[in-house]
Structure 1
Amino acid sequence: MDRRVVSPQPLSLLWHARRVLVDLWDRATTTQPPLSWQVSLLLGVLALLVTWSPAGYRLVRHLVTLIHEAGHALVGALVGRRLTGIQLHSDTSGVTVSRGRPRGPGMVATVLAGYPAPALVGLGGALLLGQGYAAGLLWALVLTCALMLVLIRNLYGLWVVAATGASVALLSWSATGTVLSAAAYLVVWSVLLAAPRAVVEVQRQRRRGARGSDVDQLARLTGVPGAVWFGLFWLVCVAALVLGARELVPLP
């Protein structure tokens, strides 16, 4: 009689993979008490110093651009456009390429999504932190990076997304609850503070004669002056900053 011995290794690997996924889910859904308003305010001041220093802003700007392009990609997919790739560049700029009708509401919505995306993500992050989901916020960032890896089409962008995702994943896996919360607060503060600066930056470039930004594309697509779109982006970012700050610093 032919007796075949089934190796237990595949079953063992599946069991370990299941344990890892369960552990990840537990870590992502475990809540931590929100930080005190004094500590949150201190982290906000630290984030302000970082985002408004040349070297610090350049670092945070990569994260803002990553979220900016993710916003283009998400809305483009939702309106039925075919995504062909995302590029992130060393000068902190980026581009998302999609196929579909060159004009119309879908194209307008896709272009419109970029600059408000970091501000809205920051506001959503502030709401999550208020509920104690600091770990969930950071793991959501890791998941976003993992999904974007499929769409990245240049080496520098691949390095930025992979390094961001790996760093946040390592921190989320190994840090204590207090360190995790502090890191999440710092990320959210940084994104909220950097989003309005990115909008002001694009307007400065337009005044120097640069054309081709989201503001200029929207002006061409809709006939509405670029200054109106700049004002809309700026108001959204500032409103998100104010509302997010109220969530992050719940004064007694």
Structure 2
Amino acid sequence: MNKWVKTILFLLGSVFLTRFIPFSSLFRNLDTMIHEFGHALMTLVLSGKVLRIELYADHSGVTYSSMLTPGRSILVSLAGYISASLFALLLFYLYRKGLHMWGLGIMTAVALVSLLLYVRGEFGMLWLTGFIVLNVVIMIFGAKIVKYYYLLLAFLTLEESVVSAVYVGFMSWTQPSRAGDAANLAQQTFLPALFWGTLFALFALWCAKGALGLFFRKEGTSRSSRSRGLRRA
């Protein structure tokens, strides 16, 4: 079967199955956090000023910034979806290398920086606090479940990075003015929202294909190692 078809089918199955995991909806804000942190980080890199970040219970968010020229604003608008997709890929790369504790540490550090410096609003601050505390508890006391907890976060982040990007791609076709970052980019460039929305969707799918390739390669390697161990025994 074509790898792209496999990727799409697996993502669809994953989105469906993870809906049955209790409280999984709360963890979907992780992708929103990374998306908005990507905007903020690019703003700082370009010498702009991050005013605040808002995270909402419906998994949406917004980053307020200032002191950016029109050209630099394009890069800031691009950073959200691209950061979220690359972060999902990074999580699976770390899993393949057996560095899931590093991955949890990175997620926790981003959440802590966001909480201390940028996120305002009751829900966002409460969510970040709970996420940080849960991560720390699992890293210290949850040795038996940390791998599965990490995989849950990795898959939910991957799903959300693709679903949100595809949704913006769809909106850029049907209601371009409401297509979020794609609409912002259309206002700042000569290219329509359709171009940017499609770009975000394709990039997210490309990262998902790479992430799932890393996951299955890791699982295949683990099964092969166990088989060799049994034969030696």
Shorter-chain TM-score category?
0.7 to 0.9
Contact 1:202 1:213 in 2 (8 A): yes
User: Which of 57, 72, 80 is the equivalent residue of 2:47?
Assistant: 80
Q: How far did residue 173 of structure 1 move? A: 1.4
In the alignment, what sits opposite 1:242? 209
Contact 2:53 2:119 in 1 (8 A): yes
Q: How far did residue 248 of structure 1 move? A: 0.8
Q: How far did residue 244 of structure 1 move? A: 0.6
User: Which of 55, 67, 81 is the equivalent residue of 1:115?
Assistant: 81
Cα offsets for 1:183-227 (capped at 9, x unmatched): 112211221122111122234455357526111000111121111
Aligned equivalents of 2:37 and 2:46: distance in 1? 14
Higher relative contact order (CA 8 A, sep 6+): 1
In the alignment, what sits opposite 1:125? 91
Name the structure with the higher helix share.
2
In the alignment, what sits opposite 1:192? 158
What percent identity do the matched residue pairs reach?
23
Alpha-carbon spacing, 1:179–1:121, altered in 2? closer, same or farther (3 Å): same
User: What SS class does the counterpart of residue 98 from structure 1 fall into?
Assistant: strand
Cα offsets for 1:130-168 (capped at 9, x unmatched): 111111111111111110012112111111111111111
Aligned equivalents of 2:127 and 2:157: distance in 1? 16
**Alignment TM-score, normalising by the size of structure 1:** 0.74
In the alignment, what sits opposite 2:195? 228
In the alignment, what sits opposite 2:32? 65
1:194 maps to a residue whose letter is E
In the alignment, what sits opposite 1:91? 58
Cα offsets for 1:26-60 (capped at 9, x unmatched): xxxxxxxxxxxxxxxxxx89843345679877434
Cα RMSD, aligned residues only: 2.6
Aligned equivalents of 1:55 and 1:212: distance in 2? 30
User: Which of 95, 101, 123 is the equivalent residue of 1:135?
Assistant: 101
Gaps of 5+ in 2: 1-10, 222-233
Gaps of 5+ in 1: 1-43
Contact 2:168 2:180 in 1 (8 A): yes
Contact 2:169 2:198 in 1 (8 A): no
1:183 maps to a residue whose letter is Y
Aligned equivalents of 2:21 and 2:152: distance in 1? 18
1:137 maps to a residue whose letter is G
**Alignment TM-score, normalising by the size of structure 2:** 0.80
Aligned equivalents of 2:48 and 2:162: distance in 1? 28
